[in-house]
Amino acid sequence: MTGVRIWIRHMPDAPLLVDARTWARVQRGFAPLFEALDSDGGRGLRLMLAALIRARREHTYEIDLASLMLTSEEWIPLEGVHEVPLVRALVAQGRRFVKPLRYDARSVAGFANAILLDVGAEPVDLHVVSSFMGEAEQGAKRRAFESARARSWLWLPGEAMPVLPGPSTRLTAGAAACSSHAGPTTVRPNPAGRGPD
């Protein structure tokens, strides 16, 4: 089989083989993700691979189908590099948030880029508009923002990131009370409901 070898970080001793035509399709379909990774510049971006793998023969594993997903350094899924500063700020501030995923939706523009949960009874939708979005996508993003304006936050291209809504004082006081009863252990939010690595 002519093709390429793919090394996975947690399988350094067992490369995965993939047919040249299959890999060319993967590279075409996920070109923006490969470009984002190549231009990372030390931002800690990661590329996750989900693949259908078969054992062609003993100790020889071949990829039949593959899908890729861009993530932050903390393994939080990203639609593109335009979301990196927002996710970084949320993690650095120790905020509680959810990162919606589009799954099979054609466009992600109608979804919030993140949903802030530590702001009281109602969460706040956080929207980031990329300057590389098409007009239709930018319009969908603005409509999503407008439909929940009272509980929405919008970051437009070319502007400095607006200040994020502050956490609820009740939630902050509850976290402080938990940490004071627990002794030296600190209570840290778990971004995007992330489990153990």
- Fold of domain 77-192: Trna Endonuclease; Chain: A, domain 1 (3.40.1350)
The answer to whether the beta carbons of residues 68 and 47 sit under 8 Å apart is yes
Give phi and psi for 18, each to the nearest 5.
-145, 135
> CB atoms < 10 A from the CB of 45, how many?
19
Cβ within 8 Å of residue 153, ≥6 positions away: 116, 124, 125, 126, 127, 162, 164, 165
Closest by Cα among 34, 21, 31 to 64: 21
**Eight-class DSSP state of 81:** G
- What are the start-end ranges of the H helices in the chain? 20-29, 31-38, 84-92, 135-147, 169-181
User: pTM for the full model?
Assistant: 0.74
Domain boundaries, the chain: 3-71, 77-192
Integer-rounded Cα Rg, in Å, for the chain is: 20
**pLDDT tens figures, 39-52:** 876 678 999 999 99
**pLDDT tens figures, 51-75:** 999 988 877 889 999 999 999 999 9
Residue type, 137: E
Local structure of 61: helix, strand or coil: strand
Is the pLDDT at 167 greater than 90, yes or no? Answer: yes
